[in-house]
Copies of this chain bind each other. A is one copy, B any other.
Amino acid sequence: MSTILERLEPQVREALEEGHLESLREILAEEHPADISDVLERLEPDQRYEVFQLLDIETQAEVLDRVGQDATRELFVRLPVEEAADLLDELPMDDAVEILTEDVPELKDQLLAAMETEDAAEVQRLMQYPPESAGLLMTEKYVHVGKDLTAAEALQYLQRVDEEVETVSDLYVLDDDNKLIGVFSLRELLRQRPDTRIEEFMETDIVFVLPETDQETVARTVAHYHFMGIPVVDENQIMLGIITVDDVIDVLVEENTEDILRFGAVESDGTDQPYFTIPLFRVLRSRFGWLLLLMVADTLTGTVLRLFDAQLAAVVQLSFYIPLLIGTGGNTGSQTVSTIIRGLAVRDIRFGDIFRVLRRELMGGLLLGIGLSIVAGTRAYIWDGNILLAVTVGFSIVAICTWANVIGALIPMIAHRVGIDAAVVSAPMISTLVDATGLFIYLTIAGLFLAGQMA
């Protein structure tokens, strides 16, 4: 994949510089839209538009499905309205909705007016669904037949199906009220004798989603059942559309990268912008908010230290272990958070399991803490030769690891329960939470063991 890009990008740039547009048109006609979109992403807006204009409308549509938000935007603001509307007509309507609502919202009304009436109506229906919902991923263009057709008739019908229909892998059986009553695969159809009626072999136990269903749930359902697509129906099982497996894959890739960003405490803006194309200022704005919040929370550590400043002054070595202890607490908590987020994501864990989870993590934190405290305590004794300080460090690690493990399990589970994506509970958040509480635990234990030395 990258090798195609490495060959194609210089080719395109050279042809642009030398003005060989006709030969560039021929070169591009041979390339896959996915690769063309990679090159376009790396060009300057004006060059990008120039190259885009060399593509036929089908390729343009496929390219648009793949380039990031900024590139899409910059192409659309340059395109004449009529051309842009024709292009939207060419796209699957779920992609058209994404462009109209997220990429160029200010052109929405103008473009809708210029689109084909039927497509514009579909777009307007789809636009009513909530963000990241099944309704926004679905297309109304799918293959449906009546249950009384024979296999031969269905096959004949398939040969005449509109090119705009994205997939014919699964065929849906609707009754006269458009209620979904069956489904069968093209492959099953091929196996049937020509005069078999669809009703005889269609599957009637149908897995479907509602248009309000969250896109991550849709993706997990399709992954779970190994489907090629999934129907979307309303509460009366009236068929609304289908979601195809390529959109599901896009969702999985998007959620994956979103989770990594969130876990590192970077606000993901839900777009698929390439690293270098996001203006630095926009990145910093989204990062600064989190950092500031965490830093303000971390000023609590100062308060805790002030509270114990007499002890710290009396036993100077106490302060040498502060970074080690809160670091270990933060690391333990981060591990637990990532385990719990994974468990919630793949549905191994439900909120009802909370006590089992807490018991398990409590026990786990205790055992990890005991193991680590033996190493750290011994090290402290060798270093400072103060047995009571070594015991303080040891007990503190046990207490802090246990506490970090419990907090690291509790917070993502509560977030999940109240409907927040558990992945917003980032490693930095847990580290920061454990900083102040861990210090408090450490210095309290120090007060118990080292009281004699502090007098």
The reply to whether the CB of A396 lies closer than 8 angstroms to some CB of chain B is no
Task: Give bound CA distance, A372 to B324, whole Å.
Answer: 24
The reply to whether the CB of A168 lies closer than 8 angstroms to some CB of chain B is yes
Residue in B223, B246, B302 whose CB lies within 8 Å of A320: B302
The reply to whether the CB of A313 lies closer than 8 angstroms to some CB of chain B is yes
Interface flags for A390-432 (1: CB within 8 Å of B; 0: not) read 0000000000000000000000000000000001001110011
Closest CB-CB distance, A98 to chain B, in whole Å? 15
Instruction: Given A257-B346, A295-B324, A299-B379, decide whether A246 and B226 contact each other with a Cβ distance below 8 A.
Output: yes
A338 near B298 with CB under 8 A, answer: no
Chain A's interface size range is 35 or more
In the complex, the chain B residue whose C-beta lies closest to that of A303 is B320
The reply to whether the CB of A205 lies closer than 8 angstroms to some CB of chain B is yes
Main secondary structure of the interface of A (DSSP, over half): helix
The reply to whether the CB of A16 lies closer than 8 angstroms to some CB of chain B is no
Closest CB-CB distance, A135 to chain B, in whole Å? 18
Instruction: Given A32-B207, A275-B339, A334-B426, decide whether A327 and B263 contact each other with a Cβ distance below 8 A.
Output: no
Name which of A45-53, A107-115, A232-240, A248-256 contacts chain B: A248-256
The reply to whether the CB of A445 lies closer than 8 angstroms to some CB of chain B is no
The reply to whether the CB of A15 lies closer than 8 angstroms to some CB of chain B is no
Between A and B, 15 residue pairs with Cβ closer than 8 Å are A223-B253, A245-B245, A257-B342, A261-B338, A263-B263, A264-B336, A272-B346, A275-B357, A290-B331, A291-B332, A291-B368, A301-B323, A302-B321, A312-B319, A334-B428
Known: A168-B190, A245-B249. 6 other contacts (CB 8 A): A263-B264, A265-B334, A283-B364, A291-B335, A291-B368, A313-B316
